[in-house]
């Protein structure tokens, strides 16, 4: 069953050749047998089976959606009623959410079955899934390598066929980079297309929830359930509902693909570059045309991001004070001691680093020099994309300049770690949609192709991805042993 596509699983359920309870038990057993990957923080066995029984009743009554009865996993950053929501942190290790995030509500309304909550970098801060309080996630393609972060648990679970689809979040590349490292398909939608209500905040102007799956078709179907206006989220956009699967089969003859020299220069692994050249040639054979473009401020995206994101992180994480919820130190001497020890004990090293950077950038005398300047650079980066989309339909490049690196290789080198997101960060700063799809292998590790679109062009980039996947089978590859 784990080799079937989402459409095939849906058809099997609709035709009653298997039940949702049977399918759910099948994937729960796979999760149990793959504990060495450490991809799940919580496995919600009883809840999943209860939801599967409800789904089977809907299927029997004939009022099911295409996703009814399909198991999925939620990144442990989305609040789930009565189920631990930790954000990968000791700070929230004892937190059972009193409500559901909008994304969780929408998935339940579609009849999806929650298998559990996936492991992640603490508060989504990391590029390798090594900062989690619950330990690092292993890449199914090489258990000595990282799966990428911060959504590495979701990516590893999908890649290892522990679940057909999963939710994730992307602040600077945290859907697309792990999707590339694990050889799956992952989409960061236009900022505001998917509600952030009930999604634990890291950097509010950058955070965006999105879907992960094996193929563009899988991702399109899950996005149908996730996207939509939410009055509870002040950044939610009132964009008309779309069916992102309807244009998947459209031809791409005449499509104008922008190829930025900034994505193919210094820092790009030569073998990764060759894989990307082959992928571009494949799209040319499908009728697309390649056009050289410039995104001149791309080199400023990493420094701008690592001012803006920590500044917002510093503000958002100030709510974890040991008073209202989350970790509380034992026997505090006074209020200041409560604050200091609760935060000192509850947060990990990377979270503390970013809080300190952000607090410094926002402090009196430095706000204009750092945070305000970074926001000006953000506008320049956005303008670069605006100009590029006047002449091209989509922009393509490598999702990451390298394949997955070894666990422990960069954990003590923050700058090197931050640079692993160099090709994805600018998309978040501009609020654009971006998609990573499998494009080949280098030394038996997956390589991701990054497809960037203009605002609200999710259907277009999914169409490009689907057409590529119709001509290749990289997205169908399964790691050995799974």
Question: What are residue 116's DSSP bridge partners?
Answer: 43, 73
pLDDT digits (tens, 9 = 90+) for 306-347: 999 999 999 999 999 999 889 999 999 999 999 999 999 999
Which pLDDT score, from 0 to 100, does residue 379 have? 98
Q: Which residue among the candidates 150, 314, 420, 436 is catalytic per the annotation?
A: 150
Tell me, yes or no, whether 265 lies in a domain: no
Question: Which of 20, 39, 75, 132 does the annotation list as catalytic?
Answer: 75
pLDDT at 324: 87
Q: Is residue 260 part of a domain?
A: no
In the chain, what percentage of residues exceed pLDDT 70? 100
Q: Which residue among the candidates 10, 19, 127, 174 is catalytic per the annotation?
A: 174
- Can the peptide bond before residue 206 be classed as cis, meaning omega within 30 degrees of 0? no
- Using one digit for the tens of pLDDT, what is the confidence trace for 433-458? 999 999 999 999 999 999 999 999 99
The answer to whether residues 102 and 239 belong to one domain is yes
Residue 267 lies in a domain: no
Residues 244 and 313 in one domain: no
Q: Are residues 359 and 448 in the same domain?
A: no
Pair (311, 402) in one structural domain: no
Please say if 39 is a catalytic residue. Answer: no
Statement to judge: residues 40 and 13 lie in one domain: yes
CATH number at residue 75: 3.90.1300.10
136-149 pLDDT, tens digit each: 999 999 999 999 99
Q: Are residues 332 and 357 in the same domain?
A: yes
169: left (phi over 0), alpha (psi -120 to 50) or beta: beta
Distance, first Cα to last Cα, the chain? 12
Integer-rounded Cα Rg, in Å, for the chain is 21
Query: pLDDT class for 459, splitting at 50, 70, 90?
Result: very high
Q: Indicate whether 365 and 444 sit together in one domain.
A: no
Higher per-residue pLDDT: 267 or 10: 10
CB 440 within 8 A of CB 382: no
User: Does 271 map to a domain?
Assistant: no
pLDDT over 90 (residue 418): no
Q: How many domains does the chain have?
A: 2
Co-location of 76 and 213 in the same domain: yes
Residue with tokens 């099997």: 12
Quote the pTM value: 0.96
The whole-angstrom separation of Cα 461 and Cα 242 is: 14
pLDDT digit string (tens) for 344-395? 999 999 999 999 999 999 998 889 899 999 999 999 999 999 999 999 999 9
- Whether residue 243 sits in one domain with residue 363: no
Let me know if residue 385 belongs to a domain.
no
- pLDDT at residue 420 in the model: 85
- The verdict on 213 and 358 lying in the same domain is no
Question: What span, in angstroms and rounded, lies between the C-alpha atoms of 332 and 402?
Answer: 46
Q: Is the pLDDT of residue 265 over 90?
A: no
Domain assignment of residue 388, yes or no: no
Give the confidence band of 414 by pLDDT, cuts at 50, 70, 90. confident
Predicted confidence (pLDDT) per residue in 37-54, tens digit: 999 999 999 999 999 999
- What is the pLDDT averaged over residues 224-248? 96
What is the span of the domain harbouring residue 318?
299-376
pLDDT over threshold 90, residue 220: yes
Can 406 be counted among the known catalytic residues? no
Does residue 458 share a domain with residue 433? yes
Condensed to tens digits (0 to 9), the pLDDT of residues 279-310 reads 999 999 999 999 999 999 999 999 999 999 99
pLDDT at 419 over 90: no
Q: Are 86 and 167 within one domain?
A: yes
Q: Quick check: is 318 in a domain? A: yes
Polymer length in residues for the chain:
482
State yes or no: is 20 an active-site residue: no
**Span 96-123, pLDDT tens digits:** 999 999 999 999 999 999 999 999 999 9
Position 314 in a domain: yes
pLDDT of residue 365: 85
């Amino acid at each position: 069953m784990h080799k079937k596509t989402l459409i095939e699983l849906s058809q099997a359920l609709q035709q009653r050749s298997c039940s949702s309870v049977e399918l759910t038990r099948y994937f729960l057993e796979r999760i149990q047998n793959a504990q060495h990957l450490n991809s799940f923080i919580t496995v919600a066995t009883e809840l999943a089976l209860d939801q599967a029984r409800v789904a089977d009743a809907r299927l029997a009554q004939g009022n099911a959606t295409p996703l009814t009865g399909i198991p999925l996993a939620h990144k442990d950053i989305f609040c789930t009623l009565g189920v631990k929501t930790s954000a990968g942190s000791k700070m929230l290790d004892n937190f059972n959410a009193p409500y559901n995030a909008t994304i969780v509500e929408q998935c339940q309304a579609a009849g999806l079955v929650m298998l559990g909550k996936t492991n992640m970098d603490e508060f989504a801060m990391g590029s390798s899934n090594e900062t989690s309080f619950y330990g690092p996630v292993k890449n199914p393609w090489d258990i000595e390598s990282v799966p990428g972060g911060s959504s590495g648990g979701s990516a590893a679970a999908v890649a290892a066929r522990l679940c057909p689809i999963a939710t994730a979040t992307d602040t600077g590349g945290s859907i697309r980079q792990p999707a590339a490292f694990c050889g799956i398909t992952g989409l960061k939608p236009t900022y505001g297309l998917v509600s952030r209500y009930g999604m634990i905040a890291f950097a509010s102007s950058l955070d965006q929830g999105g879907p992960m799956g094996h193929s563009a078709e899988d991702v399109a179907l899950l996005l149908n359930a996730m996207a939509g206006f939410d009055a509870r989220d002040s950044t939610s956009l009132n964009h008309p509902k779309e069916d992102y699967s309807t244009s998947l089969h459209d031809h791409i003859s005449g499509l104008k693909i922008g190829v930025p020299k900034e994505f193919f220069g210094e820092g790009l692994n030569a073998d990764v570059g060759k894989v990307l050249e082959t992928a571009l040639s494949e799209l040319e054979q499908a009728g697309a045309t390649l056009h050289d473009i410039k995104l001149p401020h791309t080199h400023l995206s990493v420094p701008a991001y690592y001012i803006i994101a920590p500044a917002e992180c510093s503000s958002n994480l100030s709510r974890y004070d040991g008073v209202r919820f989350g970790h509380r130190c034992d026997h505090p001497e006074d209020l200041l001691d409560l604050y200091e020890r609760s935060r000192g004990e509850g947060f990990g090293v990377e979270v503390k680093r970013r809080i300190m950077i952000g607090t410094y950038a926002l402090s009196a005398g430095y706000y204009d020099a750092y945070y305000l300047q970074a926001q000006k650079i953000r506008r320049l980066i956005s303008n670069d994309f605006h100009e590029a989309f006047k002449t091209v339909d989509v922009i393509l490049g490598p999702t990451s300049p390298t394949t997955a690196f070894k666990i422990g290789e960069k954990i003590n080198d923050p700058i090197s770690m931050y640079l692993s997101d160099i090709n994805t960060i600018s998309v978040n700063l501009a609020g654009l949609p971006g998609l990573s799809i499998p494009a080949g292998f280098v030394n038996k590790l997956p390589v991701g192709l990054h497809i960037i679109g203009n605002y609200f062009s999710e259907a277009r980039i999914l169409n490009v991805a689907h057409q590529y996947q119709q001509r290749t089978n990289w997205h169908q590859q399964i790691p050995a042993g799974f």
